[in-house]
Amino acid sequence: MFYENTQQAIDCLKAVAALYPNINELLNNYDYIRWQRKLEKSSDFEFDLIEPRVFNLLNLLSTVHIEKQYPQFYSVGTPIVANLERWLACFPELLKDVAFHGKIKNLDDTSFLSTLSELLVAEHFRLLGYKIRFEHKFSIPATGGNRDIDLTIESPTKETVHIEIYSPSMKIDDGFGRLDDSDIPFSKKVAFKMNDKFGNDEISGLSGKILLAVDTYKIDMFSVRKQILGKNNDALYSEMVNYLPQAVHGYLFFYGNINAVESFIFEKLIFKPENGSEFSDLSVDPK
């Protein structure tokens, strides 16, 4: 056992958070009380900390604590928490952002991992000289619905691009995958995400281009096909523009490794034919 009881576990998490000033500022006593209550409801709280159903900030801090106790083992959580600390330093305004707190502290769904993807993309463009804005509001007049888009970036020449980030998690069962019709095309899965966000009609409140940024880091059938096709994989990407909603102009594909210091790796930038082949001032790959 790593922890005798839930109070000891929470005390250890507090000690880990104290090593990272921005993460420490992000958390408050209510967060720890809420976490402890959740652990106390578990039939095996230690298992839920170490082998969670959904990866979140609670078990990330627990993982770091265990790694510090056993430094001879491979570190998984420590690089991630170091990245999160750096991203919070890069965007200190998020420490006071209520919506951000709700996502980064969410223990019950994939919000935590999705938020990490947003942060690594935001840092990438900040380092390239772009101004970054989170959660820009827009509306869908046809339905009266209100939404927000993950990132809005503005280049030094005042060109604006809005970016919605998608971090799919389509894993291959039992380590095997079949390249047949039973696999739902990755492009259609992306389309479901985009139609839910943007619908198929015009939108209001976003001036400039709109991109869907797809994180291909997860092991999925798209990655399998990409590896099989090798460098001659343009068709794999190009077919996906057929599924984009009316309001969205194109895709930015990237490999987002939350464990790495250089966590953003550019893959492809592709647009609908009517939107041209590139933006005039959108630099996505510093190399």
CA 6 vs. chain centroid, Å, equals: 29
User: What b/e readout covers 8-20, taking b as 16+ CB neighbours within 10 angstroms?
Assistant: ebbebbbebbeeb
216 and 159 fall within a common domain: yes
CB atoms within 10 A of CB 205: 15
Per-residue pLDDT band for 170 (boundaries 50, 70, 90) equals: very low
pLDDT at 74: 73
Question: Which range among 126-130, 208-212, 237-241 has the greatest average pLDDT?
Answer: 126-130
CA 216 vs. chain centroid, Å, equals: 11
36 and 89 fall within a common domain: yes
Mean pLDDT, to the nearest integer, of 121-133? 95
* Cα–Cα dist 210/164, whole Å: 8
266 and 171 fall within a common domain: yes
Is pLDDT of 222 > 70? no
**Helices assigned H by DSSP within 172-265:** 186-198, 221-229, 234-238
132 and 197 fall within a common domain: yes
Residues 227/179, Cβ–Cβ less than 8 Å? no
Q: Could you tell me if residue 115 is inside a domain? A: no
165 and 250 fall within a common domain: yes
The pLDDT > 70 percentage for the chain reads: 78
Q: Say which amino acid occupies 64.
A: V
Reported as a single tens digit per residue, the pLDDT across 42-51 is 889 988 888 7
Reported as a single tens digit per residue, the pLDDT across 19-35 is 999 999 999 999 999 99
Q: Please give the tally of structural domains in the chain.
A: 2
Question: Which range among 1-10, 180-189, 195-204, 241-250 has the greatest average pLDDT?
Answer: 1-10
15 and 51 fall within a common domain: yes
Reported as a single tens digit per residue, the pLDDT across 49-106 is 887 777 889 989 999 999 998 887 778 899 999 999 999 999 999 999 999 999 999 8
Strand 264-271 versus strand 250-256 pairing type:
antiparallel
pLDDT at 25: 97
* Cα–Cα dist 66/239, whole Å: 45
149 and 186 fall within a common domain: yes
Strand 145-154 versus strand 160-166 pairing type:
antiparallel
Mean pLDDT (the chain) is: 80
Please identify, among 61, 77, 96, the residue that sits at the C-terminal boundary of a domain: 96
Q: Could you tell me if residue 106 is inside a domain? A: no
Residues 162/127, Cβ–Cβ less than 8 Å? no
127 and 260 fall within a common domain: yes
Q: Could you tell me if residue 59 is inside a domain? A: yes
Q: Could you tell me if residue 76 is inside a domain? A: yes
Residues 112/103, Cβ–Cβ less than 8 Å? yes
136 and 193 fall within a common domain: yes
48 and 173 fall within a common domain: no
Q: Could you tell me if residue 16 is inside a domain? A: yes
Please identify, among 96, 114, 136, the residue that sits at the C-terminal boundary of a domain: 96
Q: Could you tell me if residue 284 is inside a domain? A: no
Per-residue pLDDT band for 137 (boundaries 50, 70, 90) equals: confident
Q: Could you tell me if residue 45 is inside a domain? A: yes
153 and 65 fall within a common domain: no
Mean pLDDT, to the nearest integer, of 185-198? 70
Q: Say which amino acid occupies 213.
A: A
pLDDT at 226: 54
pLDDT at 183: 44
Q: Could you tell me if residue 154 is inside a domain? A: yes
Is pLDDT of 182 > 50? no
The CATH number linked to 149 is: 3.40.1350
Strand 160-166 versus strand 131-140 pairing type:
unpaired
89 and 132 fall within a common domain: no
Parent domain of 45? 6-96
Reported as a single tens digit per residue, the pLDDT across 254-282 is 888 898 888 898 888 888 876 554 444 45
pLDDT at 236: 61
pTM of the model: 0.84
